[in-house]
Structure 1
């Protein structure tokens, strides 16, 4: 059985753990959270000196790793062995390394907790190794949260910081940052420095500490396009192009494609209650007015043309029938979206 990362974290806090964890998936926040908890909480500072081993996938062989895992702890009841960046471990991709690990899965050292942090990817569940890890309850998949799950995650983070947050403010945090859980927690921790315990985070605080200093993000780009604000949209694209590593073009196109797909649904809906309309397009009710205004800015014909433009841009960014760079493609796309 594949465990969820949230369940594993809860069990760890209760002192319940398995001899091996193979942490995999796209949501690196949970992989990091589980790894950090195991590193920091299961051993005392003195025990860590002799019983905590950190290895890295590129530099680690399976034989050496398992030799370390099979040794007994020194002056402690447990030793912890962590493989970071395990997706880079060559022996996890060949038959010899997998065979060694399969043998260890059948005979794990009971006084060792072995952790593989296999980020961004998932191991093939059809392989013998994938099946064995799942069967022995050692496979943990960290999935990206859905948009509707983000407010609850934000509120949970805020609660852990001994603060509270309004519904409106939680929606704004989601809107400004998206579903990057690592960034959400980082921004909330920074915000905590400026607040006293027990304070309530309001929308004005979020705008001041998170939104105001991050004016050029995808959330703001989407908002500008919904308002048909071409100068601001073009300005944001220029800023994104100057930092392509943080603002890659393809994910932006995907977000804008989803925007116009939602607008197409709104053009066809007969629902009049805002909260029910929000459910139809899977957005937080706090943001529904922006979408309803956008429907007035783009006719159904314009909306369909823009979906076509976004599909074409997606192909171009993937190198199909285009010699333009990403910035040129995005600049042309924004112009066409504003002038369909």
Structure 2
């Protein structure tokens, strides 16, 4: 788990080789930054830090640098990016890699260097010997979307132990969403607002954290389904005043209702929250919220709303009616 790897790095417990793979760029960048901060002193960076793009440089050239003794400090830190030879994908790169040289290094790494391979790919080719060797010998950081439990753990880790309670964490995720970069910005803002030893409460989160467009529309849809038309119209008019495009609002609404329908159907088939998230390729926290909202609705009701959304989309795109008025009429019709 990525949080465990981060804890080890902060304690100065380093592995000779790391493999960071996956498409969650924030987790990859955060891991690399932690290694830089904890492995090297600032005055060592010019001498003992290097990085290579393996789409431009052969891996054996990078390994020559790895095997060079550090200057002044105790360790060298070497980043190797884009090791496309770990995938089955075709690449435009004409660089030939001596992969056996890397296999030999993994069998006997030097004690004074830390190698970090960064593979920002959806999948690695598990059939390849080098992939198997790396997964066996390296410390792995799978940069994928964090699950509900991991995400809450990440929030607690980010702000410091005991500074944010479960209620505040839950509200933060509801308001800001699950994008790690957005959450980092919001957490930094919260940390600046409160005193160093002051806890971050749900009240403070409510006061400071701006709702994402998706969260505003999620609340809008929720209020419509609960027949709270006055508050639903208020949210809609606020979004329009913020110059949000009606077609974009409608598109996000359709995505929310479609997710609710899909989650309800898969739940009925016996899928767990985690399996639903994997099947639909959405964050488990979004699945959890959708399940909470769909309990009292029949599938036919959600299908009817999806048809109303599709009809409104057609009217907007064919210019049959004013877009803002179409949205207002849609909310009244769904009610």
After TM superposition, the score normalised by the length of structure 1 is 0.68
Kept after mapping to 2: 8 A contact 1:5/1:31 = no
**What value does the CA root-mean-square deviation take over the aligned residues?**
4.4
Write the distance in 1 (CA, Å) between the matches of 2:10 and 2:168: 29
Kept after mapping to 2: 8 A contact 1:264/1:304 = no
Write the distance in 2 (CA, Å) between the matches of 1:75 and 1:235: 59
Which residue of structure 2 lines up, in the alignment, with residue 70 of structure 1? Answer: 67
Write the distance in 2 (CA, Å) between the matches of 1:147 and 1:28: 18
Which residue of structure 1 lines up, in the alignment, with residue 180 of structure 2? Answer: 181
Which residue of structure 1 lines up, in the alignment, with residue 3 of structure 2? Answer: 6
Which of 168-177 and 93-102 deviates more?
93-102
1:241/1:178 CA distance change after superposition, 3 Å: same
Write the distance in 1 (CA, Å) between the matches of 2:96 and 2:254: 39
Residue 222 of structure 2: which of 215, 223, 226 is its match? 226
Write the distance in 1 (CA, Å) between the matches of 2:328 and 2:146: 29
Q: 3-state DSSP class of the match of 1:113?
A: strand
Which residue of structure 2 lines up, in the alignment, with residue 172 of structure 1? Answer: 171
Kept after mapping to 1: 8 A contact 2:17/2:137 = no
Deviations 1:110-166 (A, max 9, x none): 321111222353322222221111122444313312234433332332225xx7224
1:37/1:26 CA distance change after superposition, 3 Å: same
Write the distance in 1 (CA, Å) between the matches of 2:69 and 2:10: 24
Write the distance in 2 (CA, Å) between the matches of 1:30 and 1:11: 15
Q: 3-state DSSP class of the match of 1:201?
A: coil
Q: CA deviation at 1:30?
A: 2.6
Write the distance in 2 (CA, Å) between the matches of 1:85 and 1:333: 45
- Superposed, 1:90-239 pairs within 5 Å as 96=97, 98-119=99-120, 121-159=122-160, 164-211=163-210, 214=211, 216-228=212-224, 229=232, 232-233=235-236, 236=239
Which of 82-91 and 105-114 deviates more?
82-91
Write the distance in 2 (CA, Å) between the matches of 1:257 and 1:9: 37
After TM superposition, the score normalised by the length of structure 2 is 0.69
Q: 3-state DSSP class of the match of 1:40?
A: helix
Residue 288 of structure 2: which of 283, 303, 319 is its match? 283
Q: CA deviation at 1:221?
A: 0.7
Tell me, yes or no, if structure 1 residue 304 matches structure 2 residue 310: no
- Superposed, 1:42-57 pairs within 5 Å as 42-56=39-53
1:339/1:71 CA distance change after superposition, 3 Å: farther
Q: 3-state DSSP class of the match of 2:135?
A: helix
1:265/1:5 CA distance change after superposition, 3 Å: closer
Kept after mapping to 2: 8 A contact 1:31/1:142 = yes
Q: CA deviation at 1:299?
A: 5.5
Q: CA deviation at 1:62?
A: 2.4
Q: CA deviation at 1:305?
A: 3.2
1:59/1:95 CA distance change after superposition, 3 Å: closer
Matched pairs, number: 295
